[in-house]
């Protein structure tokens, strides 16, 4: 059954990575596709690495769950700090479905067993998406807390500065 997904693995993963790159601005897309140095282009490197691991998990390969979770986590952390809605940032996982439907599903015709195996793969992709969503919301909560702390610190620093120069909204100059 795994041959159904593994025969075209590299082609499918590359198509998916291209679809993910297409979610970025046009000027960024070219850089992501052409710069292969993992230090100069960590986004593309991490995307390619995560895509391969996630694909193997979706295909039903025996992949270590911790490795899959790590790949998803790295990918989600990157998307969580980028502009865009959760749907835009996490929708990249769902970009795999039309690729699978185009490249794998036609090979299932006439076989209930293959069709069933294919549908299980789509269910695994849905599970990956739900795990990614949970991770994404946790990451966004951390980012929000960091921003709140930063604003509080800036406000406290402005109040201290204003008090030093002779006035503060909390303690106007000359009034005790």
What is the pLDDT tens value at each position of the chain, 176 positions in all?
578 899 999 999 999 999 988 887 766 666 666 667 766 777 788 888 899 999 999 999 888 888 989 988 888 887 777 777 888 888 889 999 999 999 999 998 888 999 999 999 999 999 999 999 888 888 777 777 877 888 888 888 877 787 777 765 555 555 55
For 111-118, the CB contacts below 8 A with 24+ separation are 113/1, 114/1, 114/4, 117/1, 117/4, 117/60, 118/4
Q: Which two tokens stand for residue 90?
A: 């996490």
Residue 173: what pLDDT?
A: 53
CA dist 107 and 19 (Å) reads 22
pLDDT value at position 11? 96
Q: pTM of the predicted model, to two decimals?
A: 0.74
Contact 22, 99 (CB under 8 A): no
Q: Is 96 helix (H, G, I), strand (E, B) or coil?
A: helix
pLDDT of residue 29: 62
Q: Tokens 């991770």 map to which residue?
A: 135
**18: exposed, middle or buried (C-beta count within 10 Å: 0-12, 13-18, 19+)?**
middle
pLDDT of residue 63: 85
CA dist., res. 47 & res. 126, Å (int): 19
């Amino acid at each position: 059954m795994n041959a159904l997904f593994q025969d075209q693995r590299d082609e499918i993963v590359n198509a998916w990575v291209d679809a993910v790159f297409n979610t970025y601005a046009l000027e960024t897309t070219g850089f992501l596709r052409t710069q292969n140095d993992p230090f100069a282009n960590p986004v593309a490197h991490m995307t390619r690495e995560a895509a391969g691991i996630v694909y193997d998990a979706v295909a039903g390969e025996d992949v270590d769950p911790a490795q899959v979770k790590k790949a998803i986590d790295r990918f989600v952390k990157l998307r969580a700090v980028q502009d865009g809605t959760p749907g835009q940032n996490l929708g990249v996982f769902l970009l795999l479905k039309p690729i699978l439907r185009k490249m794998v599903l036609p090979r299932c015709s006439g076989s209930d067993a293959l069709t069933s195996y294919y549908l299980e793969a789509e269910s695994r992709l849905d599970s990956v998406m739900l795990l990614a969503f949970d991770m994404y919301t946790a990451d966004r909560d951390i980012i929000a807390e960091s921003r709140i702390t930063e604003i509080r610190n800036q406000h406290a620093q402005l109040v201290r500065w204003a008090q030093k120069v002779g006035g503060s909204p909390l303690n106007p100059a000359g009034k005790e």
